[in-house]
A and B are shown apart, each in its own frame.
Chain A
């Protein structure tokens, strides 16, 4: 079954036309670019939103020095959700955060299409850009094992590799399900670029 899923993922090809359709369907829009708060290291935070029939989603693209971007998205959830999950977490029980919450909308491929489209837009302006992201676990218990080899990271890696492997290297660590999409030319010139991107990515765990 897993092999079949892998084969299917390999067959999925990004289409800008499809991305444009989805942007229209989900009302994808740029909200704002803001400067960092004093405790943040990014240069700019670019915020986008889109709406499905059930949820409003927020997309954060943090822009760092050396054309490095961290991408995350999550559904907008009400305050009660956070209060309840925080209580469960304090009791040491299974809980969710906004990244792990399962919306059950079955639209991961649509969302990843929107994000790849945005990455390609960034690459058009800044071809030496690199990216980082996490694949959140489906549930959290507070143990390190939560982060291990999540389904989300395996799916994202597959799709992104299919799209960007010509110019970028996709590297990932199963222990925390984080990935980097590193521009090969930048990496060749500055091997420590990997450390730079990793350090920032891991500081977001």
Chain B
């Protein structure tokens, strides 16, 4: 498995936090909710969680 992938990913949690912090500070955020960046709630398609999250009332 380890040699199977064509790349080794070097992205870390710290890099992710830094990226989102800079994004928030850039003033280029489309979402107004300041808590949004870095705190998303992804759900997997085909699960009850997805159906609940994407239920359109």
Q: Does A73 contact B (CB under 8 A)?
A: no
Determine the interface band of chain B, counting residues with CB < 8 A from chain A.
20 to 34
- Chain B nearest CB, measured from A65 CB (Å): 8
The 0/1 profile, CB within 8 Å of A marked 1, for residues 14-42 of chain B is: 00100110010000011111001100111
Given contacts A174-B54, A192-B16, A198-B42, contact A67 B9 (CB under 8 A): no
Q: Are A126 and B6 touching (Cβ within 8 A)?
A: yes
Residues A172 and B45 in contact in the complex (CB < 8 Å), given A189-B1, A199-B20, A202-B40: yes
Residue ID in chain B nearest A143 by CB atoms:
B32
Q: Which residue of A lies closest to B52 (CB)?
A: A174
Instruction: Contact check, B13 vs A195: say whether CB atoms are below 8 A apart.
Output: yes
A94 CB within 8 Å of chain B: no
A180 within 8 A of B: yes
Known: A173-B42, A176-B31, A189-B5. A196 touches B16 (CB 8 A): yes
Please state if B9 and A203 are interface contacts (CB–CB under 8 Å).
Answer: no
CB contacts (< 8 Å) of B11 on chain A: these are 66, 190, 192-193, 195-196
- Inside 8 A of B50's CB, which chain A residues have their CB? 172
Residues of B within 8 A of A122 (CB): none
> In the complex the two chains form, what is the Cα distance from A193 to B15 in whole Å?
12
- Using A149-B53, A192-B11, A192-B16 as known contacts, list a sample of 18 further A-B pairs with CB atoms less than 8 Å apart, ordered by residue number in A: A67-B7, A126-B6, A143-B32, A144-B32, A147-B31, A169-B45, A170-B46, A172-B50, A173-B41, A176-B36, A185-B5, A189-B1, A189-B2, A192-B9, A192-B12, A195-B11, A202-B40, A205-B29
Minimum-distance CB pairs A-B, first 6: A205-B30, A170-B45, A190-B9, A171-B42, A196-B11, A195-B16
Seen from chain A, the residues whose Cβ lies within 8 Å of a Cβ on chain B are 2, 65-67, 126, 128, 143-144, 147, 149, 154, 157-158, 161, 165, 169-176, 180, 185-186, 188-190, 192-196, 198-199, 202-203, 205
18 contacts between A and B (CB under 8 A): A66-B7, A67-B6, A143-B32, A144-B36, A149-B54, A154-B56, A158-B45, A161-B45, A171-B42, A171-B44, A172-B42, A172-B43, A174-B54, A186-B9, A189-B9, A190-B11, A192-B11, A193-B11
